């Protein structure tokens, strides 16, 4: 499987500021994803982080609000920009493409509260 870490694990931020979340995997992976889980809700895919190129965003999510980087095969960042209280959520990264595993492995999540 994979060991996935996220930093920070939680944060409380002021509206109008930005927060960058890091996702680190202990092995090279083919695909990395970012999800949002709003309070009491399910997971919604934000984007697929592509190594060396621009991320692929899902409907309703834009690069200006959620810029994503993936400089190599084990690391990605998600920035939540110009935050508002509606951005309060758990943000999870996941990975796919580890050895013979055809499944997504999820990180522990980053709990963000925006005041």
Partner 1 sequence: AQSVTQPDIHITVSEGASLELRCNYSYGATPYLFWYVQSPGQGLQLLLKYFSGDTLVQGIKGFEAEFKRSQSSFNLRKPSVHWSDAAEYFCAVDIAGQGAQKLVFGQGTRLTINP
Instruction: Show the binding pattern over residues 78-97: x = contacts partner 1 (CB under 8 A), - = does not.
Output: --------------x-x-x-
Look at the block and give the residue holding tokens 């960042």: 77
Look at the block and give the residue holding tokens 């796919």: 96
> Does position 45 bind partner 1 by CB under 8 A?
yes
Residue 59 CB, nearest approach to partner 1 (Å): 10
Residue 21 CB, nearest approach to partner 1 (Å): 14
In sequence order, the 6+-apart residues with CB closer than 8 A to the CB of 61 are 46, 47
CB closer to partner 1 out of 30 and 82: 30
Residue 111 backbone dihedrals phi, psi, to 5 degrees: -90, 115
Contact (Cβ atoms closer than 8 angstroms) between residue 83 and residue 19: yes
> Does position 54 bind partner 1 by CB under 8 A?
no
């Amino acid at each position: 499987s994979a060991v996935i870490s996220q930093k920070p694990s939680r944060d409380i931020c002021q509206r109008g500021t930005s927060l960058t979340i890091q996702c680190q995997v202990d092995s090279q992976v083919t695909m990395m994803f970012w999800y949002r889980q709003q309070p009491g809700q399910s997971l919604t895919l934000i984007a697929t982080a592509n190594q060396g190129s621009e991320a692929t965003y899902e409907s309703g999510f834009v690069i200006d609000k959620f810029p994503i980087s993936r400089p190599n095969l084990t690391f990605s960042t998600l920035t939540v920009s110009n935050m508002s209280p509606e951005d309060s959520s758990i943000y999870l990264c996941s990975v796919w493409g580890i050895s013979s595993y055809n499944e997504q492995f999820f990180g522990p999540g980053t709990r963000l509260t925006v005041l």
